[in-house]
């Protein structure tokens, strides 16, 4: 009898973490993955197009939860997933990352005594003002098995009293997704189709509430980007949360007038095609800090902290503020590329290690 594994996919950054594991479990003789989309992200470019890029099938279950306040979204995911978990009782639940659906489904499993694995466990920004930090703390307090991407994850969990036997450092699974579709990324030629010159542009993503929700912080960011655009062409795939705010404040017009290329959120292959040829990434995303470290591309992260410190200590990332963005950019572009070894187990083989670990724990 194959062991059934519920895999929860909810929001854009989850899909790159779930896809390699779904493929590896599907190929394994002893597991049957069941793909569950909570519907937290639903725009085609934020969801279906990424599923197609990563060769994921239609989900086995779609909970259709959609947007809402934190309590509404978390509660609605719990109510919807509980019905499926009770009816189909999996052998394992795997939740990934740090979005509201991650903590919601982990809570459902804990109360039903369904063993739960957290993939990307142990990350901490130390900043409880971030909703993701609360989701990480909640999930890691109640999961049964912890798959960490880097040694700092293990250290945080041990400090919080987690049994070391429950922790396995599997590495960074997002990079498995990159390797899975590397040829398609190489062929996509998105920079050319947008009139961008290879190696001579910066790719921007911003969506953190702390950056885009307040009028003053968003205006300061827009000013900083306009200043950068004087020296370096910027392309900015705009997240729906940010798009809404740029319209409400009228600040989008300022970016456009300065020459920043504002485009729709790009699905995975198109987006990575922009990243691989970029001179620099300017972002507040978690995953992009990791992908740029893997690819050796400088990354300027507009945040006060990061839950991914290896991207600074062993990678190409640095934290910047709006008022230091321009000087950091000039410095980063002047620096010759370093050939640094990648963090341990960031090698495109993480999903295989997850399957081996799950098998050992199922015996
Ligand atoms: C969520 C995650 C965040 C992750 C991000 C990636 C939480 C707490 N936050 O933030 O960790 O980095 O996803 O994108 O789980 N919207 C659309 N279409 C969509 C999805 C959202 O228009 O497909 C709009 C809605 O107006 C919604 C808003 O974007 O209210 C925010 O979406 P939400 O899922 O609440 O949070 P994100 O900012 O995307």
Q: What is the mean pLDDT of residues 309-321?
A: 97
Q: What's the order of all strands across the beta sheet hosting 317-319? A: 261-263, 233-237, 201-205, 280-283, 299-301, 317-319
Give Cα separations from 98 to 133, 137, 139 (angstroms).
7, 9, 8
The best mutation among 66, 241, 247, 287 to test binding of ligand 1, ranked by most ligand atoms within 8 Å of the C-beta, falls on 241
Residue 336 has pLDDT above 90, yes or no: no
* pLDDT at site 239: 97
| CA separation for the pair 196, 234 (Å, rounded) | 9
Nearest Cα residue to atom 16 of ligand 1:
240
Residue 340 has pLDDT above 90, yes or no: no
Pocket lining: 162 vs ligand 1, CB cutoff 6 Å: no
**Average pLDDT value over all residues in the chain:** 97
For residue 11, give the ligand 1 atom closest to its CA: 13
Long-range contacts of residues 179-186, Cβ cutoff 8 Å, at least 24 apart: 179/348, 180/19, 180/20, 180/23, 180/54, 180/55, 181/53, 181/54, 181/55, 181/268, 181/269, 181/272, 184/53, 184/269, 185/269, 185/272, 185/273, 185/276, 186/273, 186/276
Nearest CA to ligand 1 atom 7: 99
* DSSP notation for 5-53: EEEEE-SHHHHHHHHHHHHHHHHSTTEEEEEEE--S--SGGGTHHHHHH
Q: What is the pLDDT of residue 339?
A: 81
Half-sphere exposure of 114 (CA within 13 A, CB side): 26
14 CA from centroid of ligand 1 (Å):
12
d(CA 41, ligand 1 centre) in Å:
6
Specify the pLDDT at position 338.
80
- Return the residue whose CA atom lies nearest to atom 26 of ligand 1: 241
Q: Is 207 a catalytic residue?
A: yes
Instruction: Give the pLDDT score at 176.
Output: 98
Residue 74 above 90 pLDDT? yes
With bands split at pLDDT 50, 70 and 90, how would you rate the model's confidence at 328? Answer: very high
In percent, the amount of the chain with pLDDT more than 70 equals 100
Q: 41 CB less than 6 Å from ligand 1? A: yes
pLDDT at 63 > cutoff 90: yes
pLDDT at 90 over 90: yes
DSSP state, residue 319: E
pLDDT digits (tens, 9 = 90+) for 126-167: 999 999 999 999 999 999 999 999 999 999 999 999 999 999
CA 305 distance to own-chain centroid = 16
**Closest alpha carbon to 269 in 198, 172, 179, 173:** 179
- What integer is the mean pLDDT of 49-65? 98
- Closest ligand 1 atom to the C-alpha of 47? 23
Tell me the C-alpha distance between 341 and 280, whole Å: 19
12 lines ligand 1 (CB under 6 A): yes
Report the alpha-carbon distance of residue 173 to residue 350 in Å, rounded. Answer: 5
Q: Is the pTM above the cut of 0.75?
A: yes
339 CA from centroid of ligand 1 (Å): 35
């Amino acid at each position: 009898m194959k062991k059934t594994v519920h895999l929860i996919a909810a929001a854009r950054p989850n899909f790159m973490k779930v896809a390699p594991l779904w493929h590896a479990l599907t190929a394994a003789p002893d597991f049957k993955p069941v793909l569950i989309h909570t519907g937290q992200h639903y725009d085609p470019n934020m969801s279906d197009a990424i599923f197609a890029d990563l060769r994921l099938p239609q989900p086995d279950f779609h909970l259709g939860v959609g947007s809402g306040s934190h309590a509404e979204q978390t509660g609605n995911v719990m109510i919807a997933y509980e019905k499926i978990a009770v009816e189909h009782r999996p052998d394992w639940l795997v939740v990934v990352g740090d979005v509201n659906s991650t903590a919601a489904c982990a809570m459902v499993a804990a109360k039903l005594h369904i063993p739960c694995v957290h993939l990307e466990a142990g990350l901490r920004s130390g900043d409880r003002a971030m909703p993701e930090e609360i989701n990480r703390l909640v999930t890691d307090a109640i999961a049964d098995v912890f798959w960490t991407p880097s040694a700092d994850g293990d250290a945080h969990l041990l400090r919080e009293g987690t049994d070391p036997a429950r922790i396995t450092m599997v590495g960074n699974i997002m990079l498995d997704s990159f390797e899975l579709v590397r040829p398609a990324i190489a062929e996509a030629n998105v920079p050319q189709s947008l009139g961008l010159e290879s190696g001579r542009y910066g790719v921007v993503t911003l969506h953190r509430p702390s950056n885009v929700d307040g009028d003053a912080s968003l205006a300061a960011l827009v000013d900083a980007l306009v200043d950068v655009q004087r020296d370096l062409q910027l392309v900015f795939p705009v997240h729906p949360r940010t798009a809404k705010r740029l319209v409400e404040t009228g600040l989008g017009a300022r970016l456009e007038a300065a020459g920043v290329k504002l485009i729709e959120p790009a699905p995975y292959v198109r987006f990575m095609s922009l990243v691989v040829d970029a001179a620099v990434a300017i972002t507040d995303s978690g995953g992009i800090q990791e992908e740029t470290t893997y690819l050796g591309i400088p990354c300027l992260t507009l945040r006060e902290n990061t839950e991914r410190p290896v991207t600074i200590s062993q990678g190409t990332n640095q934290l910047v503020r709006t008022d230091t963005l321009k000087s950091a950019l000039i410095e980063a572009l002047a620096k010759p590329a370093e050939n640094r070894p990648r963090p341990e187990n960031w090698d495109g083989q993480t999903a295989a290690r997850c399957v081996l670990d799950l098998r050992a724990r199922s015996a």
